[in-house]
Structure 1
Amino acid sequence: MQNKNTLAGRSWKSRTAFRDLVIIAAMGVAVMVLAMVFDVFETAVEWAQVYEKWELLELIGACLVVMLALGLLSFRRWQELRRVIAGREQAEQALKESEEKYRTLVETALEGINIISPDEEILFANKGFASILGYEPSELVGRNLREFVTEEQYKICQHESQKRTRGIHGRYEIEMRHRDGSYRSLLLSATPLYDSERDYQGSLGMLVDITERKKAEEALREAEAERRRITEALREAEKLAVVGEMAGRVAHEVLNPITALLSRTQSEVDCTNVSQETVEAMKGIIADWRENVKNGTLSEYLLEKSPGERDATYGEEDLTILSQAVEKNADNLKRSQEFLSFFEQHIMRIVKIVDNLRQMAEARREIEEVDVNNCLKQVAGLFQDGLDKRKITLLRRLVPGLPKVYVDGTELFQVFSNLLRNAMLAIDSKGEGGGEVAFTSELTGEEIWVRVIDNGVGIPEENRPLIFDPDFSTKSEKEGTGLGLAISRRLVREMGGELLLESSLSEGGSTFLVRLPLTKATKIAEIDTEKAIAV
């Protein structure tokens, strides 16, 4: 059923259809009148049959046909107009409902929607946009954008508006002042608006309040920075804890050679006292000889009998004393050489202990992308002279094109250096002269695996669980303290990897495995593991 508004809104075509209905009704009445007239004059017609009977009937029939045709045409036109009117009414109703729907959508949208004129005046603001700034929509319409942004932000808005005039859509962030004076961060998507003449009329903006998101991002960045700071502090604390844990062991290691040096030094002091007596006796002999030479009586002095119980001259006694002094000095010289060698050996041991401790107490590391194969080649180059002197062959079976790892390059170099040095010492300990060490690298899953393989003396089974303990060492005191493997494992673990003794044979040979994880930033390349090369 149509309401009053629908009826009131009928077009001129509706009124034309009504008029046609009136005409059709009038024509029907005319037909009826003609029929009545035809009955009245029926007798007259019969009387006039003789005179032009058929002409009159033809005239009346023609009139009836014309009126019937006009009535049918008018009825069809009325039906067509009725369908047009119904369709128009439905379209107008649908348009009205669509307008209401989209108006409701725009008005109730949580996102901000506005229309800005070319002069940056707010022409329309929905409730979402108004609520973002703490206003009612009516309070924003008519105001200029400059009132809600800083001068710097306003210049950005004008720059973006220039893009709209060229038909360019835009998406950017702005900060607008809230009613309470605070600023809200908004993500704005702007679209240019044109009239029917394609003249620029302003821009339509869709705005999303990202203030809380930006605060959360800032809080996340601060939390991440704090996490890194704490992680670094924990790493430093861990290093200090390791230093503290090992301080007692290192002190013991240092005190051992110092105690030995002290004992040996005291023994040397006693020998020095004995030597001093001999030197004094030699000085007395020389003084006597000098006095007799001065007096010209040296010959008589040397041949003169000594008053002692032995039947010997002064010359024989002096020669005996000098011979004993020379022998003692020769013994003391040999002893001094041995002492100096002993002293040097223990001093070098102390230096190694202190150097290892210094390495563990280094304050910071520099994280960088490191080519593992290149690092292995650098280590090989550093030890090449030592390898040649020992007649040790170093093989490098490295898979090319490995992805880089994100570690401290110096620390990784130190790890590989320690493992190569240990391999060389293991071969030296075998005592057969010469040997072989191999570096291998490969990509396994999300890790790079590096192996250091030697054919040295190997590690006894009972010692294998202990080799990474700072208290344990398979080296002699002259060769070091055994801290190298402990330091290396700790460094590799701090890189997120692991250092393992993969295999060792008591009859000879050991394999150490270094597993280094790939970082998220590392792109894993397709690597053909069959292309490993031996250099």
Structure 2
Amino acid sequence: MRITEQAGPRWGPRRKMLLVLAPALLSQYMLDVLAVGPGVWTFVVRLVWALSVALSALRMDEHSPPSMRLHTAFQSTAGSLCFIALVLVTGGGDSVYFHLFPCLPLVLCLLYPQDSLSVALSGALCAAGAAGLLWGAGRPLSQALLWAGMVVTLTLVGAYGASEFRKAQRAENEGRLERARREALETLAISEHRRAHSEKLATIGQLAAGVMHEINNPVAFIGANLDFLEREVLSEQLASREELAEVFRETRIGVERVRQIIGDLKGFSRMDAEEPTECALADVVSDAVRIARLRLQHVARLAVDIPEDLPPVLAVRRRLAQVLLNLLVNAGDALEARGRAGSEVRIIGGCEGSRVVLRVEDNGPGFPPHVLPRLFETFFTTKGPEKGTGLGLALSRELVEQSGGTLVAENRAEGGARLRLEFPVGGSVKAAS
């Protein structure tokens, strides 16, 4: 059996304030008794005033701005008329409450700083009420106009103060929203940066077997050379100087090869925040190919055709190298899954009009028709969990678009897949910006 709890009425802050104010107004009849003595009409005025406030509070819809404005205007008008009636029944121009006429609009400015219409209505009614009571009591016209002017002046001062308060509050809210927006953008940028770094590490993880093999080769002959040197140093008869020099040279080459591999991986995995600069695609391709060969050397032949006179592009070199490495690793995975001799991956550069074009092609099986439309979706992958994260191509497209370029995928007519990258020429990008 399911029991649904019925929600009670939702009391907003304005309604709660008015429901507290209503009995407070009625209880002030005790002050009237102390000030002017008991009186039926005084109690009636207090009761009508309290009931008008309570009725307005009960019928108010705090989620509707028109309803709020209507009820605020009603409360101001009813309150001002009740106050005028209270002054009238407690002595008119000689009432102890008469000098409070200028205070009522100021109180409303505090209660409703967002509603200048209510303050204006109260000020007009209080000014007319003060002048009318003095004129009706036979006071000079100048005195009546003086009080009316005082009420109007204080109403204007209060309205100006409320207006300045609204401006300050609006500026504070806008500043808070701007800070929140800036913090959200900074958080998003950090998140994107970390996501790119995670994808880099995932790509390096896929290259781990090739990296180990590539490092093991120089390490193996470095170890063999050290064994040889140890035997020669400990033996009674040393080898020739030429032979020792050759051993040292081979050892140095092996150490340099290991250092180069580690340096490439370290540089590729760094998270430095870099600004776009003009970079030659030949250099970017060289950075990516040095690492990609670790993956492709036992899978396919890698051919690079980048013209020397290709214009530079405006991009972050390390990010663009990450994109190319992702594409080359994907091509290697597809060719390895096919498992056929004669596999080839090509990187071809060219210039078409004001755009620099870079194509990464392979002669593998290509993209299945049902995969091609979803290729750049986040977390979409056809690989197993040990090889694919579903982020590589989506992130690659984002990084290319951040440089003002495009990345599209298609199947080659002669068979195989093609990833086509287009970039505006570096100089034209700077001129446009």
TM-score when scaled to structure 2?
A: 0.39
Higher helix share: 2
TM-score when scaled to structure 1?
A: 0.33
Larger Rg belongs to: 1
